[in-house]
Amino acid sequence: MKKYITFKTGFITLLTINMLIIAANYIYVTPPINNTTLPLPEGKTNDVKEIMALEKLSAAGWAAGDGEMLASVYTDRADYVTFNGEWLQSKKEIDLVHQDLFDGVLKGSSIENREVRSIRFITDSVALVHMTGAVKHKGRKRPAKSRASIQTLVALKTAGEWKFTAFHNARISRISLWEGIKMSFN
């Protein structure tokens, strides 16, 4: 006679598997992430101030829910990669996509913990900028840990004016045991 798994046995097995998966999400296979802050370059005081002013204007645009203001710090043909991999390819597209977000899911949100971590001048007219921050949704006291991000920006000086010409956003997150297991099967 065949034995069949009873509902109770199946349910307990399913719960056990779920508990193991949940536990595996809190066991990390990568070390803690430590993003350091480097000293700002010496001898480039005015350039550093102008680049920092771009970041402040971008933050003001976010705080105001104004896509056009946020996008004003970018060149017309800027490349902007969002945290989820969407590639925006112009100042206008950066404006429109952000305005849709500000009018929708990001309405009333703000960027918290903003910090320029480094500015490195590649040439006199090209700088690599790294900064961190996190989106805080309306009504929350602080951003969710899952919202912490690091951005890489390329600043370009043309006709005496600095603008960002590239932006890439990535979440700051460790790899859990469960994510590592899932990766091994891809």
Smallest CA-to-CA distance from 83 within 145, 146, 149 is with 149
At residue 131, the pLDDT reads: 97
Q: What is the mean pLDDT of residues 65-88?
A: 96
At residue 3, the pLDDT reads: 62
pTM reported for the whole predicted model: 0.82
Q: What is the mean pLDDT of residues 158-172?
A: 96
Euclidean distance between CA atoms 52 and 71, whole angstroms: 15
At residue 26, the pLDDT reads: 80
Number of domains in the chain: 1
93 three-class SS:
helix
Range of the domain at 135: 1-186
Q: Is 149 within 8 Å of 171 (Cβ atoms)?
A: yes
Give the number of other Cβ atoms within 10 Å of residue 114's Cβ. Answer: 16
Smallest CA-to-CA distance from 151 within 138, 141, 164 is with 164
Q: Is residue 128 pLDDT above 70, yes or no?
A: yes
Q: What is the CATH number of the domain that holds 134?
A: 3.10.450.50
In DSSP terms, 171 is beta-bridged to: 149
Q: Is residue 124 pLDDT above 90, yes or no?
A: yes
